[in-house]
Amino acid sequence: MEILDYAFMQRALLAAVLVGITAPAIGIYLVQRRQALMGDGIGHVAMTGVGLGFMLSWSPVWMATLVSVVGAVLMELIRWYGKTRGDIALAMLFYGGMAGGVMLINLAPGGTNANLMSFLFGSLSTVSQEDITAICVLAAFVIVMTLALRRQLFAVSQDEEFARVTGLPVRALNLLTAVTAAVTVTVAMRVVGLLLVSALMVVPVAAAQQLSRSFAATFAIAVAIGVSVTVGGTVTSYYEDVPPGATIVLLAIAAFMVLTALATPLARRRARALELAAGDPAECVLPEAGAKVADERVPASRGSTDGLGV
């Protein structure tokens, strides 16, 4: 394990594990509320933060956190108050954020677009000690939020109107989701890069869905897949000298494809078990051929009040 002898690789692996946990942990709620691409939008906005960080010589990670939190809150506000063309406003925000980042980095003293590349696509060797401190603090926030408030976030993401009628603070929870997603983007920025962050929020969840029936299992499997691909991608990029962000995302997509291929026979077996449990006849019985059989079986399993096989 000579890989662990280098301080930069220790930092990179720690960051990879934290990204592997946090990105799917918040991503599952975004997928559940069908806003899977929100992370992508926040990633664009975060670029302005990176640019500002360079310009003012502050930590780009903290600056990106600040700007992407502001951007995420703005997106939530547009969703509330936006009338017909909320999507246009969001497009302005996304691409304005990206263009702002490119412009600011070019204006920064000694800044070139080369600096930008490491933020866009991730770069393990440049994860500094200050970066790792920030990543740990931010990741702790994301993990605590997504676990402690899981039932509330589940309810709001599943059926927002119903959640409001149960008296949950829906606006506060929506803002919290947006802020947590923004924080996750900056946690993942150094490892997978801003342009690929969203993939790590969405793809492990999509892959986990192929196997699971419950939300809790989807959450656990998605985090397991997330950690596997981030660590796998980081180690691969060390030995093979390939970009870590791209490696991680391609590994995640490969995991999705493998699980999808495995899921079809699994789903078929489950469906068969369910049919047997419900007592449905294995095959259709034509009325002429077996009127008596059908008469006996159908009312038994489709009776109006027994609640079975409806």
Partner 1 sequence: MSEPVISMRGVRAELGSRTVLRGIDLTVLRGEVVALLGANGSGKSTAVRTVIGQVPVAEGEIELFGTPRRRFRDWRRLGYVPQRTTAAGGVPATVTEVVTSGRLSRTRLGILRKADHAAIRRALDLVGMADRAKDSVNALSGGQHQRVLIARALASEPELLVMDEPMAGVDLASQEVLAQTLREQVAAGTTVLLVLHELGPLEPLIDRAVVLRDGCVTHDGPPPKAVGQHALPGHDHVHPHAAPGAEPLRTGLLS
Burial class (CB in 10 A: 0-12, 13-18, 19+), 265: exposed
Q: Does 265 bind partner 1 (CB under 8 A)?
A: no
**Coil, strand or helix at 253:** helix
Buried b / exposed e along 163-201 (16+ C-beta atoms within 10 A):
beeeebebeebbbbbbbbbbbbbbbbbbbbbbbbbbbbb
Among 88, 92, 242, 274, binds partner 1 (CB under 8 A): 274
Number of residues that bind partner 1 (CB under 8 A): 43
Residues 33-72 that bind partner 1 (CB under 8 A): 33-34, 36
User: For residues 130 and 151, which CB has a smaller minimum distance to partner 1 in the complex?
Assistant: 151
The site map against partner 1 for 164-183 (x = CB under 8 A) is xxxxx---------------
Q: Does 264 bind partner 1 (CB under 8 A)?
A: no
Q: Does 157 bind partner 1 (CB under 8 A)?
A: yes
Length of the chain: 310
Q: Provide, rounded to whole angstroms, the least separation between the CB of residue 166 and partner 1.
A: 4
Which tokens belong to 47?
Answer: 């670029």
Q: Does 310 bind partner 1 (CB under 8 A)?
A: yes
- 129-148 and 7-32 helices, crossing angle to 10°: 30
- How close are the terminal C-alpha atoms of the chain, in Å? 58
Q: Provide, rounded to whole angstroms, the least separation between the CB of residue 168 and partner 1.
A: 6
Q: Which residues bind partner 1 (CB under 8 A)?
A: 28, 31-34, 36, 149-152, 154-155, 157-159, 161-168, 205, 209, 212-218, 271, 274, 299, 302-308, 310
